[in-house]
Amino acid sequence: MNEQKQRGVAICARLLSEIHKLGFLPEQLSQEPVFEQASFETSKDPYSGKDTLCAYWKNPRGHRIGEMKFHGDGSFYAEYDVIMPHPRDPRWFVEGVVAWGRDDVIKGEAKLLPALGD
């Protein structure tokens, strides 16, 4: 679990980095993706049959705002909700950020939607 914790902390850092790259300041976020604050469970991957470790973040009202899944083959996927207008470009609304990869390779990007016109 220690290796997965280290990877989870690195993935959370990447999610937060993607949020900050967009221009959000720390005080604009009501919550941040922190590995130790997630709740954990395991599930069976229907494709491989291997166990998947799932981490979930919830807001104070109990609604899920993020998740991270570690698959048995070393791959992972994580997403975290932002749900705010883009801080620098009014043409976009930031739905969230995602990170994915395998082992120590972590890729990430923002999930943007066109902003609604006036």
Number of H helices, E strands in the chain: 1, 6
Count of domains forming the chain: 1
31 close to 65: Cβ distance less than 8 angstroms: yes
Residue 92: domain span? 2-114
pLDDT, block means (10 residues), the chain with 118 residues: 87 97 93 95 87 94 96 94 95 97 95 87
pLDDT at position 34 is 96
Angle at 68 between CA 65 and CA 72, to 5 degrees: 160
pLDDT at position 78 is 98
- CA dist 47 and 32 (Å) reads 31
> Residue 6 is which amino acid?
Q
